[in-house]
Structure 1
Amino acid sequence: MHQRSFEQIVIYENASAVRDHDPDAEKKGSDTKRDLDTDPHTGGDTAWSRCYRVTAVCVLLLCVLLLTAITVLWIKFINLTKERDQLQKDREDLQRLSKLVRDIGWTYFNSSLYYKSTEKKNWTESRKDCRERGADLVIINSKEEQEFINKTLLSAKAWIGLSDRDTEGVWKWVDGTELTNGTGYWSQAEPNDHEGNEDCAITGYIPQGGTRDFLNTWNDVPCSFNYGRICAKKFFI
């Protein structure tokens, strides 16, 4: 009886030891630990998730910036296209206008229209004719204008809007402005008031024996002489 009880005790103790060293139990414990180490909610995976979110935000911002840049460039392109079309239209309008004024005898230069008439009249009648056309005898304000008139318009002498009829030696334009001493484009030795009655000015004069000069071509002559004329009026496009 005592021996059987002792054997039962030994068996129970051995069974307990076997349970304590059960390989399956150890494996389950190891797996449980490994699962804990790789839990997606642990610190390592949380840092990776944060990095992913930051990257996504950066990409989104870059996309927004790119879209903004494309929009700005597109607006500029549209505006430049409109400006180009307007400039093209203005150019075509100017070409049509230039042809129109040429067809009716006018020439455009530097914000003015010029009309050359070869019909011979005295200075007073010539000015009257210009005024009836909505213009006046030309007032020459620059070297470029003087050369333009002589090179482009003239084939003969013509009246300009300059005279000293009011006061001898004081040359004034038709708008009342005075020609100061040392200015103007007088031919050599002019003005000389030959025989005391040369009070109106022409351009296109070539002195006897002289050569063609497109700049210094003014001469004073009697206002009663008959010449062609140059009319001019301001014209802003």
Structure 2
Amino acid sequence: MSYYNLMRFVLQGKGLQKKCLAITSSVTPATLCCCILIILILVALNVVTLSVLLAVRSRETDLQVVYVTCPKGWIGFGNKCFYFSEDSENWTLSQISCTSVGAVLAQFETEEELNFLTRYKDIFDYWIGLSRESSHHAWKWTDNSKLNVPFVIQGTGECAYLTDSGVSSGKRYVIRKRICSKTNSNVSISLDAL
């Protein structure tokens, strides 16, 4: 093979190489710029969408109602605070203990409050603020208002207590834990008001 033929062969190879590259890589600078621009637009849309979602979520949090807390050791439900005692006393001393902290033996006006107390209590029975003179008399709360929540009170005792299965009655001298309640004098406020 002569030098001339060798050079011609090499030059033809380079020409073929350029043709192969032109066939396999059809990416022009304009196409590359368009792809980069599309990627940047998609990233920007994601950032804007996430920002809007976070703003909406934080706004929803701002609109939630916040209840002012009950005293330490008390549990809030609705507009009331409840205290579940650690110690045990008879019904009369339990009422005196509740009164000494500005409360009464637990009173509830709704079935939701009763369900809350039943769920929250532990394995012990707790005195509540219902009593009656005898099994022939109507149940009254410690403030002398009549019982207006429709539920069954089991037993024939003159004082009511909360059990795992609902409300029962027993003798006033039996020693049990107590639940005190008081109306939360602080009104509920919205974070928007702050």
Please indicate the TM-score interval, normalised by the length of the shorter structure.
Answer: 0.5 to 0.7
| Distance across 2 between alignment mates of 1:171 and 1:183 | 12
- Structure 1 residue runs of 4 or more that deviate by more than 3 Å after TM superposition: none
Give the 3-state SS of the residue equivalent to 1:148 in structure 2: helix
Q: How does 1:104-123 map to 2 (within 5 A)?
A: 104-123=72-91
The residue aligned with 1:135 is 103
Which has the higher Rg, Structure 1 or Structure 2? 1
Equivalent residue in structure 2 for 1:169, among 137, 145, 153: 137
The residue aligned with 2:150 is 183
Q: How does 1:6-17 map to 2 (within 5 A)?
A: none
| Contact 2:75-2:81 at 8 Å conserved across structures | yes
Deviation at 1:231, TM superposition (A): 0.4
The residue aligned with 1:221 is 170
Moved more, 225-234 or 165-174: 165-174
Give the 3-state SS of the residue equivalent to 2:102 in structure 1: coil
Q: How does 1:37-52 map to 2 (within 5 A)?
A: none
Q: Which has the higher helix share?
A: 1
The structure whose RCO (Cα within 8 Å, separation 6+) is larger is 2
* Residue identity matched to 1:106: W
Q: Which has the higher strand share?
A: 2
| Distance across 2 between alignment mates of 1:146 and 1:155 | 16
* Residue identity matched to 2:126: A
What's the % identity of the aligned pairs? Answer: 26
The residue aligned with 1:156 is 124
Give the 3-state SS of the residue equivalent to 1:218 in structure 2: strand
Deviation at 1:154, TM superposition (A): 3.6
Deviation at 1:121, TM superposition (A): 0.2
| Distance across 2 between alignment mates of 1:149 and 1:123 | 18
* Residue identity matched to 1:226: I
CA deviations 1:46-97 (Å, max 9, x no partner) are xxxxxxxxxxxxxxxxxxxxxxxxxxxxxxxxxxxxxx7xx58x84xx5xx5
| Contact 1:106-1:113 at 8 Å conserved across structures | yes
| Distance across 2 between alignment mates of 1:151 and 1:107 | 13
**TM-score for both structures, normalised by structure 2:** 0.57
When the two chains are superposed, the root-mean-square deviation of aligned CA atoms in Å is 2.6
CA deviations 1:148-181 (Å, max 9, x no partner) are 001123431000000112784321111111226x
1:204 is the counterpart of 2:170: no
* Residue identity matched to 2:168: N
**TM-score for both structures, normalised by structure 1:** 0.47
Q: Unaligned stretches of 5+ in structure 1? A: 1-83, 206-212
| Contact 2:135-2:158 at 8 Å conserved across structures | no
* Residue identity matched to 2:144: G
| Distance across 2 between alignment mates of 1:144 and 1:185 | 15
Q: How does 1:36-75 map to 2 (within 5 A)?
A: none
* Residue identity matched to 2:119: K
Deviation at 1:118, TM superposition (A): 2.6
| Distance across 1 between alignment mates of 2:87 and 2:172 | 16
| Contact 1:117-1:228 at 8 Å conserved across structures | yes
| Contact 1:154-1:204 at 8 Å conserved across structures | no
The residue aligned with 1:52 is none
